[in-house]
Amino acid sequence: MKKTILFFIFAILSLCSANANSVEFCAISNIGLEVDKSTKYSDVMTPTIKNLLNATNQINNNGCEFTLFLGDNLKGPDKYNLVMFAKIIRKLKKPKYVNVGDKDVSQTKNLDKKEYYRILKIFSKNKIKELPSVKKINGFVFVFMDGVNQFIPTQYGYYKEDEIAFLDDTLRKYKNSPVIIVGHYPIFASQDIKKDMLPIKINDFHTTLSHYNNVIAIISGHHNIDDEYKQGGIYNISVQDLEKSKEYKKIFIDYNKKTQQAFIKTRIYSVEQ
């Protein structure tokens, strides 16, 4: 009798497990890391370096399976800033996935995207080699988007035709999997994010999303706003800036494959000590 009950409980748990995916991770945006070059040694503790070190120490102890960096990781496109950023996030015990922001790269300052990711690979063990890209984690498909213009400095994002085509192909390929889109720029307007703050010609992005029903969440930064809202059946999470707010987010997502419904919960962590 006891064996029968145990088998029944195991069967129920196995069924629940078979119908659900879950993932828990941290997301950090707008770090604005800057090295103090006025001193002889560039590793002097600046406020932004301290913020990132505190966040790194916390994340190593708060159960995050990995960390997303949502761009504007640097104060400006400077290799000293980038190397310091990379060396600090290398301390993270779990994987890290780094997006670029409009303040991170510049062709005219000899730090384009190719060089950015080359340096990250050397010093940080970042899991992303280029943008856009796709990573499958815990049954979820994470699509890392770009939208940053490295030739003309601008705060406005723009997704080129080939990147929209990449998104379309990816959503079609993984049409039966829950997809999470990660990028520097928010995709939808909200009460706090106005339409004129969105990337240029964002309607092409919206049209592509409307053809599929497998995108459950979009995670972004850029506007230094703590914002969460649902648009078109997609849960949008905007992460505030670490530089000024001294905060980042921990995100938990549970997805029921049978009902195709997602439960999403976030928690804000402060690095201020």
pLDDT of 40: 58
What are the domain boundaries of the chain? 22-270
- pLDDT, tens digit (0-9, with 9 covering 90-100), for 193-236: 999 999 999 999 999 999 999 999 999 999 999 999 999 899 99
Asked if 157 and 200 touch (Cβ cutoff 8 Å), the reply is: yes
Mean pLDDT over 250-263 rounds to 95
The model's pLDDT over 44-79, given as tens digits with 9 standing for 90+, comes to 789 999 999 999 999 999 999 999 999 999 999 999
**Whether the model pTM is above 0.85:** yes
Contact in structure between 158 and 197 (CB atoms under 8 Å)? no
> Is residue 241 within 8 Å of residue 222, measured between CB atoms?
no
Q: What is the pLDDT of residue 61?
A: 95
For the beta sheet containing 227-231, the strands, ordered from the edge strand earlier in sequence to the opposite edge, are 133-137, 140-144, 179-182, 215-220, 234-238, 227-231
| Helix and strand counts by DSSP (H, E) for the chain | 7, 11
The fold of 22-270 is Purple Acid Phosphatase; chain A, domain 2 (3.60.21)
Amino acid at 222: H
pLDDT in tens, 232-255: 899 999 999 999 999 999 999 999
